Amino acid sequence: MRYWLMKSEPSDYSIDDLVRDGRVAWYGVRNYQARNFMRDQMRVGDQVLFYHSTCAAPGIVGLAEVCTAAFPDATQFDPAHKYFDPKATPETPRWFNVEVAITQKTRLMPLAEIRGHAALERMRILQRGNRLSITPVDPDEWAFIVSVL
């Protein structure tokens, strides 16, 4: 099993949306490294820190689980969608997603708090220049975060 942090802007899809829906296809990823994490490394049962980004209070707001293997992101084929990719075809998709299911909505663990824990100082989300929407989380970091949520 692996652990991941997946960012979503709450104005696009929030933890409350996931609670309401139960599960969601993690659509719209248009960064090759993040895509490769989903396509090549994520497996059913992997655990996820759901993180609100680009908002007044960024931070971890819930726990989720990967519940499907990677599959082509349907938004890449829809010319009316903002994530349309004219180079993608059903025969040669460029973008993939997985579905994640809610396991628990948590208190907000704000970015400032994450930064304040020595046990988390190596988290990729805290590294200078990191802007990826999906990053691996070390098992020790996962265990620490879950213990303080």
Instruction: Break the chain into its structural domains and give their ranges.
Output: 3-129
Q: Which CATH number among 3.10.590.10, 3.40.640.10, 3.40.50.970, 3.40.50.1820 corresponds to the domain 3-129? A: 3.10.590.10
Cβ-in-10-Å burial (0-12, 13-18, 19+) of 95 comes to buried
- The residue to which tokens 């988390």 are assigned: 120
Q: Where are the alpha helices (DSSP H) in 57-132?
A: 111-116
Classified as helix, coil or strand, 93 is coil
Q: What is the pLDDT of residues 120-138, one digit of tens each?
A: 999 999 999 888 999 999 9
The alpha-carbon radius of gyration of the chain (Å, integer) is 15
List, as own/partner pairs, every contact residues 130-133 make where C-beta atoms lie below 8 angstroms and the sequence separation is at least 24, other chains included: 132/31, 132/33, 132/34, 133/6, 133/7, 133/8, 133/29, 133/31, 133/34, 133/53
Report pLDDT for 131. Answer: 87
Q: How would you write the pLDDT of the chain (149 residues) with one tens digit per residue? A: 999 999 999 999 999 999 999 999 999 999 999 999 999 999 999 999 999 999 999 999 999 999 999 999 999 999 999 999 999 999 999 999 999 999 999 999 999 999 999 999 999 999 998 889 999 999 999 999 999 99
| CA atoms 137, 139, 106, 18: torsion sign | positive
Q: What is the pLDDT of residue 50?
A: 98
Residue 1, pLDDT score: 95
Residue 130 has a pLDDT of 87
The per-residue pLDDT for 125 is 94
Phi/psi zone of residue 53: left (φ > 0), alpha (ψ -120 to 50 degrees), beta? beta
